[in-house]
């Protein structure tokens, strides 16, 4: 007890603050420094969650956001989450599709998996780097039996992107397409 009183008395300089002389200035500087570190860590934390989502966490979090949308519109959907991709599939089959060449001629028909009238097919792949494909994306390709929406959703830092192919029939629910595209547009920016 005597030891505590002697420490308390030595810091009292008579001005009523109880933080005499240099010791009071050190306390104020320490408190200001701690406050600055606190606010800086909050600002950095917010930026990391909302703008620089790690690619390792991206697909599992995106998957958990997309599952309810797919299940609401396609209750029997099959889905798979792999380390670098996500797939959704319901009521699909193999179609023979003729693709046009740049010259305007037609290629021989090739087999392409696509959705039936009540089906859906989606493949999302996480790719490192920037999209450098020939097609301007987003773009919808019409394969006569179904359409395919292709998107490249870049991360804010440009180090990766989501390469998306959603194949759907002509009579797809517009609400589904709107929800799907909205989720992907905000995939990198929301703190999931």
Q: Say yes or no: 36 and 73 in one domain.
A: no
Q: What CA–CA distance (Å, rounded) separates 142 from 172?
A: 14
Q: Answer for the pair 82, 48: CB distance below 8 angstroms, yes or no.
A: no
Range of the domain at 131: 55-185
Residue after which a domain boundary falls, among 51, 72, 91: 51
Is residue 11 located within the same domain as residue 105? no
Lowest mean pLDDT among 9-23, 70-84, 167-181: 9-23
The pLDDT value recorded for residue 24 is: 53
CA–CA distances in Å: residue 191 to residues 57, 83, 159, 162, 187: 11, 20, 18, 17, 9
Residue 9 shares a structural domain with residue 80: no
What SS3 state is found at 138?
coil
Claim to verify: residue 86 and residue 15 sit in the same structural domain = no
Is the same domain home to 46 and 64? no
- Shared domain check, 123 and 91: yes
Q: Say whether both 65 and 159 belong to one domain.
A: yes
The residue-averaged pLDDT of 129-144 equals 94
pLDDT number for residue 3: 43
Strand pairing report for 160-168 and 110-128: antiparallel
- The residue out of 51, 70, 91 marking a domain boundary is 51
Comparing 160 with 49, the larger pLDDT belongs to 160
Task: Tell whether 40 and 96 lie within a shared domain.
Answer: no
Residue 42 has pLDDT above 50, yes or no: no
Residue 146 CB coordination number (10 Å): 24
Paired with 121 in beta bridges are 89, 167
Full-model pTM: 0.70
Is residue 77, in this structure, part of any structural domain at all? yes
Same domain, 136 and 100: yes
Predicted confidence band of residue 189 (pLDDT cuts 50, 70, 90): confident
Assigned domain for 16 exists: yes
Cβ atoms within 10 Å of 98's Cβ, excluding its own: 11
51 against 155, higher pLDDT: 155
Dihedral sign computed on CA atoms, order 103, 109, 112, 115: positive
Number of domains in the chain: 2
Same domain membership, residue 118 and residue 44:
no
Task: For residue 93, count CB atoms less than 10 angstroms from its CB and return exposed for 0-12, middle for 13-18, buried for 19 or more.
Answer: exposed
């Amino acid at each position: 007890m005597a030891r505590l009183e002697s420490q308390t008395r030595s810091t009292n300089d008579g001005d009523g603050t109880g933080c005499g002389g240099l010791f009071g200035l050190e306390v104020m500087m320490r408190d200001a420094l701690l406050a600055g570190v606190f606010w800086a860590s909050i600002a950095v934390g917010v930026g990391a969650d909302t703008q620089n989502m790690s690619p390792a966490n991206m697909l599992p979090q995106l998957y958990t956001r997309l599952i309810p949308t797919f299940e609401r519109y396609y209750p029997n959907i099959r889905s798979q989450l792999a380390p670098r991709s996500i797939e959704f599939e319901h009521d699909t089959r193999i179609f023979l599709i003729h693709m046009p060449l740049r010259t305007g001629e037609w290629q021989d028909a090739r087999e392409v998996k696509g959705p039936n009238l009540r089906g859906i097919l989606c493949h999302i792949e996480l790719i490192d780097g920037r999209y450098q494909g020939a097609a301007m994306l987003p773009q919808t390709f019409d394969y006569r039996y179904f359409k395919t929406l292709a998107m490249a959703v870049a991360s804010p830092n440009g180090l990766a992107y989501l390469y998306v192919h959603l194949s759907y029939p002509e009579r797809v629910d517009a609400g589904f397409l709107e929800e799907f595209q909205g989720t992907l547009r905000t995939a990198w920016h929301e703190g999931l």
